[in-house]
C-alpha cells in the first residue's frame, strides 16, 4: 500500500482547480487520477467558446480553458496519472486504481477529493417508446464522435431535450452540413441557457417545440423516422397531436446526472442533486472525503465548477493540517417551494467561514420572485429576482452572522406580492 496525502479522483476542471488550490494552500503530496488519456475532462470535446467569462474575464473555448488549468497543474509540479481508472474507494480512504503501467494499486490517502464529473441521461433511462435502433444517441456522445474523433453521426437530425449540449450540437452539426429538423422539449420552457437558444437555434431557424416529446422511434437497424407529440399538463403525450419527422439521428439532451458511484457504493448519504450530501467545506459525511464539480451537482458554467473545486482543495488542505473540525451545532438545508436541491446540505455553525455560499436550481421559470432563506421558519435573507430559470444555477452569498441558531434553513421561492 502506498501512502499519499491527497488523492483527487478526476482530472477535469473541478479536479484540476482543487489540486491547484490545495497546492497553493500548502499541500505538496497530491496525486490526480484521471481515467482518460487527457487532463481536462469533458472540456476536451467542448470546442465552442463561452468558457471563462467569470474566471478569466475572457471568452475561451473548452480546450483553451482547460489548458490554462492544466498549465497551472504542471507549473506546480502536481503529479497526475492519465488512463488511470479508480474502481473503488473505502470509508477508510483506500483508493484502488489501475492503469497499464502501475498495475492494480491501492493507496492509503489522508484525504480524497472526488471530482468524477457527470454522465448523460440516455434513452434507456427515459424509455423512449418505439424501435430500439442505432441513431438514437446522447448529444454529448455525438459531440465526442465529432470533435474528438472526426465523425458525423447523421445527416438528418432531430433533438429531444433543450439542454445546452443539444443546443450546441444543433449548431455544430448544422455547420457540418447536417439538417437539424427541430428540438422537442418536454417542459413548457427551454432547459438551455438563453444565449444558446438564440445562438444555436434561432440564428439557424431551427424550431423549438415546447411541451413536446418523442412519442415513437421508427426504424429497422437504423433510425428512419420519429414521431413527436404535444404533452398535457401531466407531461403525457396527447393522442392526435403526432408530427412525423424523417431523420436518421435522434440526439438526446435530456439532462446530466452526477457520476457518483464511488461514493454511493460506500453508502455516503446522497443529497437531492444525486451527488453526495456535503457541508459548507464540501466534505461528505466521512471526514476527509470531499466532493466537488458536476459529481456533486450539475453546473451550468465551468467557471462555477472551478470555484467549487477551489473550495474543496482549500478545505482538503485545512483538513490535512488538522484545522478542519466538525462542530456539534449544525444547520440542515432544505429545498423549499420551487427549489430542486440546495448545496451544501448542511452547515457547521462552529466551523463555517464568515462568508457562505448556497447554490441551487429552481424547478421552473418564475418571474417577479424572492429567493427566501428562512431559518427555523424565520426569514433571514431575501433576494429579489425578476426572473429565475432552471437552466441557470443560483449562487447566493449568506453571511454566517445570519445563521444564529441550529435547525433548518429552508430555501424557497416566494412571489413578490407576499410579504
The least distance separating another protein from the CB of residue 184, rounded to whole angstroms, comes to: 16
Q: Which is nearer to another protein, 109 or 311 (CB)?
A: 109
DSSP line for 331-370: EEEEE-TTEEEEESSEEETTT--SEEEEEEEESS-EEEEE
Q: Which bin fits 280, alpha (ψ -120 to 50), beta or left (φ > 0)?
A: alpha
Determine the Cα–Cα distance for residues 1 and 97; give it in Å rounded to an integer: 12
**Crossing angle of helices 302-320 and 62-75, rounded to 10°:** 20
Residue 162: phi and psi, rounded to 5, are -105, 30
The least distance separating another protein from the CB of residue 306, rounded to whole angstroms, comes to: 22
Q: Which is nearer to another protein, 230 or 374 (CB)?
A: 230
Determine the Cα–Cα distance for residues 353 and 8; give it in Å rounded to an integer: 23
- Pair type for strands 249-252 and 156-160: parallel
Q: Which is nearest to 283 in space by CA: 346, 349, 333? A: 346
Can you tell me whether residue 269 is helix, strand or coil?
Answer: coil
The least distance separating another protein from the CB of residue 293, rounded to whole angstroms, comes to: 16
The least distance separating another protein from the CB of residue 221, rounded to whole angstroms, comes to: 3
Which segments within 248-406 are labelled E, that is strand?
A: 249-252, 256-258, 289-291, 330-335, 339-343, 346-348, 355-362, 366-375, 378-388, 394-399
Q: Which is nearer to another protein, 144 or 380 (CB)?
A: 144
The least distance separating another protein from the CB of residue 219, rounded to whole angstroms, comes to: 9
Residue 40: phi and psi, rounded to 5, are 115, -15
Determine the Cα–Cα distance for residues 374 and 312; give it in Å rounded to an integer: 26
Determine the Cα–Cα distance for residues 397 and 139; give it in Å rounded to an integer: 34
Q: Which is nearer to another protein, 248 or 394 (CB)?
A: 248
Output the CA angle 74-80-86, nearest 5 degrees: 155
The least distance separating another protein from the CB of residue 138, rounded to whole angstroms, comes to: 5
Q: Which is nearer to another protein, 49 or 141 (CB)?
A: 141
Q: Which is nearer to another protein, 96 or 241 (CB)?
A: 96
Q: Which is nearer to another protein, 53 or 133 (CB)?
A: 133
The least distance separating another protein from the CB of residue 325, rounded to whole angstroms, comes to: 29
Residue 291: phi and psi, rounded to 5, are -140, 140
The residues that touch another protein, with contacts defined as CB under 8 A, are 35, 83, 85, 87, 96, 98-106, 119-120, 122-125, 127, 129-135, 137-138, 140-141, 144-146, 148-155, 176-177, 215-217, 220-222, 237, 248-249, 257, 259, 261, 264-265, 267
The least distance separating another protein from the CB of residue 337, rounded to whole angstroms, comes to: 22
Q: Which is nearer to another protein, 100 or 417 (CB)?
A: 100
Amino acid at each position: 500500500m502506498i501512502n499519499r496525502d491527497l488523492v483527487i479522483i478526476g482530472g477535469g476542471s473541478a479536479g484540476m482547480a482543487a489540486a491547484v488550490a490545495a497546492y497553493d494552500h500548502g499541500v505538496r503530496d497530491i496525486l490526480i487520477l484521471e481515467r482518460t488519456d487527457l487532463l481536462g475532462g469533458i472540456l476536451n470535446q467542448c470546442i465552442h467558446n463561452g468558457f471563462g467569462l467569470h474566471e478569466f474575464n475572457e471568452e475561451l473555448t473548452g480546450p483553451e480553458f482547460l489548458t490554462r488549468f492544466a498549465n497551472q497543474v504542471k507549473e506546480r509540479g502536481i503529479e497526475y496519472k492519465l488512463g488511470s481508472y479508480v474502481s473503488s474507494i473505502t470509508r477508510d480512504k483506500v483508493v484502488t486504481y489501475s492503469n497499464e503501467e502501475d498495475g492494480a494499486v491501492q493507496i492509503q490517502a489522508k484525504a480524497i477529493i472526488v471530482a468524477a464529473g457527470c454522465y448523460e441521461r440516455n434513452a434507456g433511462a427515459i424509455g423512449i417508446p418505439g424501435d430500439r435502433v442505432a441513431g438514437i444517441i446522447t448529444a454529448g456522445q455525438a459531440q465526442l464522435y465529432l470533435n474528438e474523433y472526426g465523425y458525423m453521426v447523421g445527416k438528418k437530425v432531430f433533438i429531444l431535450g433543450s439542454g445546452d449540449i443539444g443546443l450546441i450540437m444543433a449548431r455544430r452539426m448544422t455547420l457540418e452540413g447536417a439538417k437539424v429538423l427541430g428540438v422537442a422539449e418536454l417542459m413548457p420552457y427551454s432547459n438551455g441557457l438563453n444565449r444558446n437558444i438564440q445562438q444555436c437555434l434561432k440564428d439557424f431557424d431551427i424550431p423549438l417545440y415546447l411541451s413536446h416529446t418523442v412519442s415513437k422511434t421508427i426504424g429497422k437497424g437504423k433510425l428512419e423516422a420519429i414521431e413527436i407529440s404535444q404533452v398535457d399538463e401531466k407531461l403525457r403525450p396527447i393522442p392526435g397531436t403526432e408530427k412525423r419527422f424523417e431523420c436518421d439521428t435522434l440526439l438526446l439532451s435530456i439532462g446530466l446526472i452526477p457520476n457518483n458511484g464511488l461514493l454511493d457504493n460506500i453508502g455516503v448519504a446522497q443529497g437531492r442533486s444525486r451527488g453526495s450530501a456535503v457541508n459548507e467545506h464540501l466534505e461528505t459525511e466521512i471526514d476527509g472525503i470531499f466532493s466537488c464539480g458536476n459529481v456533486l451537482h450539475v453546473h451550468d458554467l465551468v467557471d462555477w465548477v472551478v470555484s467549487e473545486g477551489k473550495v474543496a482543495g482549500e478545505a482538503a488542505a485545512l483538513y490535512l493540517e488538522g484545522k478542519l473540525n466538525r462542530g456539534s451545532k449544525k444547520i440542515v438545508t432544505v429545498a423549499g417551494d420551487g427549489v430542486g436541491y440546495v448545496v451544501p446540505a448542511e452547515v457547521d455553525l462552529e466551523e463555517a467561514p464568515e462568508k457562505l455560499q448556497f447554490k441551487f436550481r429552481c424547478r421552473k421559470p418564475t418571474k417577479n420572485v424572492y429567493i427566501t432563506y428562512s431559518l427555523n421558519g424565520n426569514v433571514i435573507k431575501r433576494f429579489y429576482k425578476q426572473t429565475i430559470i432552471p437552466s441557470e444555477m443560483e449562487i447566493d452569498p449568506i453571511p454566517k452572522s445570519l445563521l444564529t441558531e441550529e435547525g433548518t434553513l429552508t430555501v424557497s421561492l416566494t412571489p413578490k406580492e407576499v410579504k
